[in-house]
A and B are shown apart, each in its own frame.
Chain A
Amino acid sequence: MRVAEWWPRAPRRAGVVAALLCVFQVPQVLAWTLEEAAKPYAGTTLRTIGEALPPLEAMKALAPAFTKRTGIKVEIEMYEHSEAVNKVMLDLNGKRRRYDFILQPHRELGKFVANGHLTPIDGFMNDPKLRDPAFVPEQALYPALWKEISWYGGKPYGFPFTALTMYAWYRADLLADPKEQAGFRAKYGRALAPARNWQEYRDLAEWFHRPDKGLYGTALQGKRHEALWYEWLNFLYSFGGDVLKVSSGSQCGPVIVNSPAAVESLDYYRSLLKFAPPDSLNYFWDDVMALMQQGRVFELIMWNDSTYAVSEDRKASTVAGRMAFDMLPAGKGGKVGQVEGWSYLIPAAAKNREAAWLFVQWMMEYRQQLAQHLGGGASARPDVYAAPEVRKLPYSKASMQTNEVARPKATLPQSGEMTDILVRELSAALAGEKTSKAALDRAAKDIGTLLGKCAPLEYPVQ
């Protein structure tokens, strides 16, 4: 029997196309090399900027290998979070063209795109001279994360530098202590175990809150700082609330930040202050991480890129090897997590865009991603989490599971001001200057005014 006879017509056509693609693609895959693609740019020096944290230090350690293969040097400027953001904003608007690629939090994306500061990467992805055919981001990355972190208005503008998530941190050694287990069961009538819901989370905080012995039930990032907003978003999403009623970060829609669910989440968040250190209204991520490293907190909600320094680094942490991690407890909004990514982005006016693309593409390869992840990064590649050395890390599962249920946050051009409004009101509520409802009503009103007609208040403010 001839092949044409047993092969149905439509699949046959598809097969022919596939075969042709293989014929043309395979040689291309084999033919494309980084060295060849980088030849025109040898001798170039790329300059970038990002937040001074382990993922960037890991990138710095990897960069010489890229230089060795391509002759392209990479200079990295490291700054504190806000400074890294501000310097880029001033550079882009001042048209200084200092940076060939930038590393920025994804909430800044809308501002950059709306002002025409970024190059969409589809041009590079469609250029056979620059595109490594072996790198297929649609398959290599968590699709939802990539879209959340690096896309705006239906277009890709980069790749995730870090897929940052927050989840629950616990002291596993205290949970396993038989005395604690017996005492907890006697008081609460159930086994001492990681919290499945927010009531259990508060019970655990209450049980372990022993300030006279130097142990706090939990710790909050209550300083008037972005950290407060990030932390509260976990509670907001989990309680079934949100800031805007939209399906993607780049959309504008009705303001729902003062919904009953949001007010309930803030009331709950404030209730945890009783079991937190007295200076919680002056703490942000560095402070609570230090407290955890000193073994002074039982549980908290914290970032994945800080986990290594607490859980694994025995020189820096007194509780290394004694920590456990889990997704956030479930609320009315289900098991969710807030994700904040930093992205590789290429400015539209950059001097060396092609060379920058080659470096970014190289950094997204499995080997570099794995090395960066093990050095304290947070990869957006699922295959990195499947690596045996990553699976051994006690926080990998929580990180991976949270990545899968990431909720979008506003990346509109006005997102910076929205954040500022919310931080101000959340801080006022924590300080007891306002009730949760009054604070969120004011935030809703100000955000509604800021966004204009596209953002009516779903819960009108009296």
Chain B
Amino acid sequence: MTAAAARLGRDRAVPALLLAPAAIVAVAVLVVPFWLMAWTALTDLSYADPDRSGRFVGIANFARLATDDVFGASLLRTTAFAVAATALELVAGFGLALLLVHAVQRRRWLLTALLVPMMLAPVAVGLMWRLLLQGDFGVVTWMLRASGLLARDAAIFSNASLVMPVLVAIDVWQWTPFVTLILLAALLGLPRAPFEAATMDGAGPWRRFVDVTLPLLRPVLALVVLLRLIDAFKEFDKVWILTGGGPGDASELLSLYAYRVSFQRWDLGYGAAVAVAIYGAVLVLCTVLHRLARSR
């Protein structure tokens, strides 16, 4: 072996060695559990029924999904929740970022304050809003009733038509700062030349926003939408604590249904199929958004 070949080998081995621990951890905590889940979805495993000890059943669990009306309704509800929450967060977050872009140097405290909801654990957010919106002594409930926005004999989490809009609003409250933070960073990093050129061409603020700012931000916007959609699609903690999926099925999101099937009914094969379906839905969303972001 020549000295050059030995050096080349060393050059390749060092990065591989340095990357190996991270790669092993990634495989152990991401790839292996996913494949185990995917395999379980092809079995009849149940901790409740000893006759169902993990026999291979092919796509039977997925066929069952197609006829499960509770799953179908949850899928639609989850999609509506994720799309509504993401759209509102994008609009509100972008608006806030545009407001802050000129003030950020002088008002860093404002940015810090805005980030507080995002830094709270979802369980803490759920408990906090549970108290604030509690039907008998919740401060927000009292304010809504005092202002006439809520009837005296109504309560938000006991009303099937109010519960989803309020859950969306809580998600918007918690995650708009995340959108603001990313878009603010992107806005501050935009090159000045295209804006100067547009101004010299006579473009006003609106045309500069539509024709320069938005196209330049498109990759970042796509990324933000993607991250928020994925996260909203997997929403569990807050809803579980606030409503438990009720009243009735009014707030039964897919992740709650997957939890119920897997850890209350212990129907692990079918529960894994629901989880794989969530993964599939997120994958489809990601692919569509990725294509949209790349298309001109």
Contact = CB atoms under 8 A, between A and B. Distances in A.
B260 interface: yes
A224 B246 contact: yes
B62 interface: no
15 contacts: A89-B263, A111-B48, A114-B50, A211-B153, A223-B243, A224-B243, A224-B244, A225-B244, A278-B153, A279-B136, A281-B247, A414-B48, A417-B265, A427-B247, A428-B247
B248 interface: yes
Nearest to A432: B160
B50 A116 contact: yes
Given A225-B244, A277-B155, 6 more contacts: A115-B47, A224-B244, A277-B135, A282-B157, A291-B136, A413-B49
B126 interface: no
Given A93-B47, A111-B48, A279-B134, A420 B264 contact: yes
B257 to A, nearest CB: 10
Contact of B48 (A82, A413, A434): A413
A368 interface: no
Given A223-B244, A224-B247, A89 B136 contact: no
Q: Which of B157, B159, B248, B266 has most A Cβ within 10 Å?
A: B248
Nearest to A429: B248
A225 B265 CA distance: 14
Contacts of B154: 278
Question: A interface, how many residues as a size bin?
Answer: 35 or more
Q: Which of A225, A413, A424, A431 has most B Cβ within 10 Å?
A: A431
Contact of A430 (B134, B157, B247, B267): B247
Given A224-B248, A225-B244, A111 B47 contact: yes
A430 B135 CA distance: 16
Nearest to A224: B246
B158 interface: yes
A278 B135 contact: yes
A376 interface: no
A255 B241 CA distance: 32
Interface in B2-45: none
Given A114-B50, A115-B47, A420-B260, A431 B246 contact: yes
A416 interface: yes
A429 B160 CA distance: 11
A427 B248 contact: yes
A416 B48 contact: yes
B47 A282 contact: no
Contacts of B245: 224
B249 A424 contact: yes
B77 to A, nearest CB: 13
A462 interface: no
A431 B243 contact: no
Interface residues of B, number: 30
Nearest to A211: B153
Contacts of B267: 417
B275 interface: no
Q: Which of B247, B264, B265 has most A Cβ within 10 Å?
A: B247
B270 to A, nearest CB: 11
Nearest to B151: A278
Interface of A: 82, 86, 89, 93, 111, 114-116, 211, 222-225, 277-282, 291, 296, 413-414, 416-417, 419-420, 424, 427-434
Contacts of B263: 86, 89
B61 to A, nearest CB: 15
B265 A433 contact: no
A296 B248 CA distance: 26
B49 A281 contact: no
Contacts of A211: 152-153
B250 interface: yes
Q: Which of B48, B152, B157, B266 has most A Cβ within 10 Å?
A: B48
Nearest to B135: A279
B155 A279 contact: yes
Contacts of A296: 136
A277 B248 contact: no
Contact of B266 (A280, A281, A282, A416): A416
A114 B48 CA distance: 8
A281 B157 contact: yes
Contacts of A93: 47
A-B residue pairs, 8 tightest by C-beta: A279-B135, A224-B246, A279-B155, A281-B158, A428-B248, A431-B247, A431-B248, A282-B157
Contacts of B134: 279
Nearest to B137: A294
Contact of B265 (A115, A116, A420): A420
B246 A417 contact: no
Interface in B127-163: 134-136, 152-155, 157-160
Contacts of A223: 243-244, 246
Given A277-B135, A420-B260, A111 B266 contact: yes
A115 B247 CA distance: 34
A73 B135 CA distance: 45
A416 B266 CA distance: 8
A57 to B, nearest CB: 23
A298 to B, nearest CB: 15
B248 A417 contact: no
B264 A433 contact: no
Nearest to A212: B152
A343 B189 CA distance: 63
A416 B243 contact: no
A224 B47 CA distance: 23
Nearest to A86: B263
A89 B49 contact: no
Given A225-B244, A431-B250, A279 B158 contact: yes
A431 B160 contact: yes
A426 B267 CA distance: 22
A414 to B, nearest CB: 6
B52 to A, nearest CB: 10
A352 B260 CA distance: 33
A357 B197 CA distance: 84
A445 to B, nearest CB: 12
Nearest to A111: B48
Given A277-B136, A279-B135, A416-B48, A222 B247 contact: yes
Contacts of A277: 135-136, 155
